[in-house]
Amino acid sequence: MTAKPFFVHERGICESSHVGDGTRIWAFAHVLPGAVLGSNCNICDHVFIENDVIVGDDVTIKSGVQLWDGVRLGNRVFVGPNATFTNDRFPRSKEYPETFLLTTVEDGASIGANATILPGIAIGRQAMVGAGAVVTKNVPANAVVVGNPAVIIGYQTGPQIVPAVTQTFPGTVGERMSLGVGGSELWRLPHFGDLRGELAPLEFGSNLPFKPARSFLVYGVPSDKVRGEHAHRECHQFLIAAHGRLSVVVDDGHDRKEVSLTEPSIGLYMPPGIWGIQYKFQPDTALLVMASHNYDAGDYIRDYADFLDTVSRDGR
């Protein structure tokens, strides 16, 4: 008999023949016949994997996890101890739906210990689900979510940039500072103040990176909500916190930075091909956005995977 290219502990059960090279299945784990497991996975003690389950390469599934029909794990996913997946929104004993909802965890995502994932949820690539979180809605790529119900508390961007009107921009060109993310820049706008108050004038064609064709205000956004989550193919944008403050994530598909906009005289320039996210709105925040083009639904890229494909295809 030819030796299996994967390892099963003597007290483990693997009924599937669709298991990749280098995968290890440890004691008291049970893999049903229809399951598909990739290469170099680590299936720890007391894991149960049902039939309609697909697991990618280099996945770690810690003890006490059950993967039910409809679960799909991408490559390099980490599932912490006792994390719970579900596949039926209205379960009844001895009553089964015609099909189970798909739950997808994309490449590189991590799920903390004791987290609960509701059925039909998609967790984006490189996302981080905190321990004990109850995930009731889709989680965007690169987001960090915690709590019950889970909410976004951050993105994996490194230290946040908090520019101020009195701050010296390091490495500036004039009154602009490159963020190192696909041409995104912080701009210091003209600013004047006296006893009567503050003034930050905008002259289209001189102190903005483009002549706007359209502008709009975003306001009244609850603090736990996220705006944006798209990129543009041709449109340039310029963002100003006209009142209050918020955070903006800029992502060119390779690098990401998070900027806190707190001053009406500091603007964020986002050229085409930048994935933008706005969140952490204060209750009184009003975000002014100026755009180089009129509204065109076809100019938007709203799916992050499509965005990454576009960036790769265009060589950006």
What is the set of active-site residues? 230
72 φ, ψ to 5°? Answer: -130, 120
Assigned token pair, 295? 């509204």
Q: Helix, strand, or coil here: 260? A: strand
What's the CA gap between 210 and 88, in Å, rounded?
51
Query: Using the 8-state DSSP alphabet, how is residue 306 labeled?
Result: H
User: Tokens standing for 257?
Assistant: 């930075």
Cβ contacts of 195 within 8 Å, gap of 6 or more: none
CA-to-CA distance for 64 and 233, rounded, in angstroms?
45
With contact defined as beta carbons under 8 Å apart, do 94 and 77 qualify? no
Strand ranges for 220-297 from DSSP E: 227-232, 237-243, 246-251, 256-261, 266-270, 275-279, 286-291
Q: CA 108 → CA 56, 116, 165, distances in Å?
A: 10, 18, 38
As a 3-state breakdown, the chain gives helix, strand, coil percent values, each rounded to 5, of: 5, 35, 60
Residues 6 or more apart in contact with residue 69 via CB below 8 angstroms? 50, 51, 52, 53, 87, 100
* Helix ranges, the chain (H): 304-314
